[in-house]
Amino acid sequence: MRPFFAMNLSRQIEPLYRELASVLREELQQFCPGDLLPSEVQLAARFSVNRHTLRRAVDELVLEGLVLRRQGKGTQVLARPLVYPLQANNAFSDSLSALGLRVEAVLLERKKRKATGDESQRLQLPEGAMLIELTTLRLLDEQPVSLIRHRFCASHAPALERYNGGSLREYLLEQSLGLNRTYSLIGARLPSREEAAQLLMPLHAPLLSVLTLSCDTAGRPVELALSTSRADRFQYQVAP
């Protein structure tokens, strides 16, 4: 944890909690992602304000996605958003590893189920066809940032049965199945309680959702993936 520098509050131009939030926002530059802020008691004493005012100031930073309150641990500094290029053949792990980040993909669940009507249409499958769905959690420098649900026709089950984590694109290449992104639909919504817990984010903060269809080299639809990512961690760059 890095120390705050001493600063004075004027208490005149704007509400005190907003002025205090501005001071804290500036001083966050002295912290690294994952650092914990001093306790609210310590900060309130330092600025000679009551805890209610201090909490309102920190609430401003939470709403901006700069910090996250973690039950029993304190207020944690979050990393700034990363730019992720949405291109035809780029892979999540390769793109972010190139930025010097340690990328992990953990397999959370593997299941077989019937495709919905929309999934059948996008993957050009008969209605009610069986799918293999893999759910992965992506971590950057050990911090969870994205949940991805990968859907494949059940005919690809033999090729997927040995996948247990890591870059799925690289694994599929090893199975002689190279994929190119055909299109991506970008949206936003609030997380479910389960998603918020898995991604260590507040319930009121938005998720970025990206629905991506990927095809093989012959242009046949192979994978329909839905990623849900912390909006405070990602900015998607769409190539012209």
Is the domain spanning 16-77 CATH 3.40.190.10? The answer is no
- Angle formed by the axes of helices 40-47 and 51-63, nearest 10°: 110
Which amino acid makes up residue 184? S
Q: How confident is the model at residue 38 (pLDDT cuts 50, 70, 90)?
A: very high
Fold observed for domain 82-238: Chorismate lyase (3.40.1410)
Q: How confident is the model at residue 6 (pLDDT cuts 50, 70, 90)?
A: very low
Which amino acid makes up residue 25? R
What pLDDT sits at residue 231?
85
The pLDDT tens digits of the residues spanning 180-218 come to: 999 889 999 999 999 999 998 888 889 999 999 999 999
Q: Please report, for the chain, the start and end positions of each structural domain, with discontinuous segments joined by +.
A: 16-77, 82-238
The SS3 call for residue 207 is: strand
Q: How confident is the model at residue 5 (pLDDT cuts 50, 70, 90)?
A: very low
Q: How confident is the model at residue 77 (pLDDT cuts 50, 70, 90)?
A: confident
